[in-house]
Structure 1
Amino acid sequence: MTFFQSIRAWFRRKILRDRAERWNHQYAIGRWEVLKAPAEYARFDACIALLRRHAAGGRLLEIGCGEALLQRRLAPGDYQRLVGVDISAVAIGRAQAFADHRVRYLVADMQKLELDETFDAVIFTESINYVPRRHQLLRNYARFLNEGGVFIVSIYRNKRSAGIWTEIHSVAAPIDRATTTNEVGAWDCEVLRLR
């Protein structure tokens, strides 16, 4: 990257607040490598246990899939089809290495996603907290759910998470839940149905 290209990228990321540019930069510099640490496995496994109870062997849409970390922990029989979406082309480029004939990865903004498929579960692992108007996002994503389909949402517990859950619960009722706690912190993962 030339000096002028790096200045342009910095300007888009910092001044224009270009979300895709910011996420690409963070993945390129290794900011999210921490998610591959063994301390992170328990939260993924908690989501997978809920997934197996509510959408076993189903069609899955993962929003904010990053480098396919959830898919890498799934067993072959856990899904029939998986579509992973992330705003970062860098992350999706890395995720592609784990795709097979049942898996498709897309670079897209979750707030503007257009698909012609439906799913048994739409999964947000640590991603829904990065957008405003989560209640509207969930209502919009209901069109991607098969009849009886569920949302699976995982959020890191911090000072903002209670408010995020309140907003989510205004449009979706929890039907199952798991909490994971370790030396890094705590995560809540819920299975929800639209009200």
Structure 2
Amino acid sequence: MVYLRWRRFIEMASLDRPWLGDLMEKRKGEAFRAAPVERWDQEYRDGVYDRLHRSDQRHHHRLLAAMIADRWPSPRVLEIGAGEGVFFEALRNHRPARYVGVDFSEPAVATGQERLSAEIASGQVQMLLGDGRTFSTDETFDVVVFSECIEHLGQVEPLIDHYRSMLAPGGAVGLTMWLSLKPLRLWRTLKAMGQVHDEAVVNTPWGGGWLVATVGVTD
């Protein structure tokens, strides 16, 4: 418990003091690498992510959904690394005009298509199989969401550059990430690429912590 409290103190302090995060981070300078699809497929089949459906695991989703809806009423949202579309459960109450979820795990997308079949039938929702590093569409969106996945998609600069063309004027990136030192290094890079609209930290009773933010990356 003492270690966990110390670690959280360091993580929180490094949000405003990047030098502290650089000092304390293990394996400094290690590149961000995309995880293989086989890993995610097996974990979805094994039910590893079933816990994400529980309300006490989705505080950060509800906050990000509220941030998006406050700035973009009836938003059009593209979610990369959508898994089974769990984030849509938080977004649904804000009546999004459009939601497209993309994931490269076939078991996850199949489950999402089943769970959201009514919204898919109405045309409000699509769940698509695709690689988050290279997915492309002619549609434009108000927000591209990366929920607990951006650190698995390689270098952040070319990733955000790729998705800019799919954002409407005034569009943004929506983000949730586990609060730890390595992802915070990525967060500092993303902050430098645009204008931070919202930034918050969500701490849970069971000890979890997430960074939740929206960043404007278009003119």
Whether these two folds match at TM > 0.5 is yes
Q: Which residue of structure 1 lines up, in the alignment, with residue 95 of structure 2? A: 78
Equivalent-residue separation in structure 1 for 2:166 and 2:130 (angstroms): 15
- CA distance in 2 between counterparts of 1:162 and 1:81 reads 30
Return the offset for 1:179: 1.7
The superposition leaves residues 126-171 of structure 1 with CA deviations (integer Å, 9 ceiling, x where unpaired) of 1111122111101111001001111111111012122111121231
1:49 Cα shift?
A: 1.1
Q: Distance in 1 between matches of 2:188 and 2:94?
A: 34
Q: Which residue of 1 aligns with 2:111?
A: 94
Among 188, 191, 195, the alignment partner of 2:214 is 191
* 2:54 is the alignment partner of 1:37: yes
- Runs of 5+ in structure 1 lacking a partner? 1-16
SS at match of 1:112: coil
Distance 1:158 1:33 in 2: 23
Q: State the secondary structure of the residue aligned to 1:84.
A: strand
User: In structure 2, what is the equivalent of residue 172 of structure 1?
Assistant: 194
Aligned to 1:11: none
Which whole-Å CA distance do the structure 1 matches of 2:175 and 2:94 have between them? 21
1:69-128, Cα deviation, whole Å (9 max, x unpaired) = 111222355311110001111010010021422111111111111211100111111111
**Aligned amino acid, residue 186 of structure 1:** G
Gaps of 5+ in 2: 1-33
Q: 1:18 to 1:167 in 2, by over 3 A?
A: closer
Letter of the 1:121 counterpart? V
Indicate the residue corresponding to 1:109 in structure 2: 131
Query: Structure 2: how far apart are the matches of 1:71 and 1:150?
Result: 17
Whether the 8 Å CA contact 1:39–1:184 is kept in 2: the answer is no
Q: Give the alignment's TM-score, normalised by structure 2.
A: 0.77
Distance 1:109 1:43 in 2: 24
Aligned position for 2:68: 51
Find 1:125's aligned residue among 133, 140, 147: 147
Once residues 192 and 110 of structure 2 are traced to their aligned partners in structure 1, the CA distance between those partners, rounded to angstroms, is: 35
Asked whether the equivalents of residues 92 and 105 of structure 1 are also in contact (C-alpha less than 8 Å), the reply is yes
Percent identity over paired residues: 25
Query: What letter is aligned with 2:208?
Result: G
RMSD: 1.7
Is 1:153 equivalent to 2:211 in the alignment?
A: no
Partner Cα distance (2:94, 2:187) in 1: 30
Q: Distance in 2 between matches of 1:161 and 1:34?
A: 22
Does the 8 Å CA contact 2:171/2:217 hold for their aligned counterparts?
no
How many equivalent pairs are there? 179
> How far apart, CA to CA, are the structure 2 residues paired with 1:111 and 1:146?
19
For 2:76 and 2:162, the matched residues in 1 are separated by 18
Equivalent AA in structure 2 for residue 141 of structure 1: Y
Amino acid at match of 1:134: V
CA distance in 2, matches of 1:44, 1:33: 15
Instruction: Report if the CA contact (8 A) 2:133-2:159 is conserved.
Output: yes
DSSP-derived class of the 1:177 partner:
strand
1:10 corresponds to: none
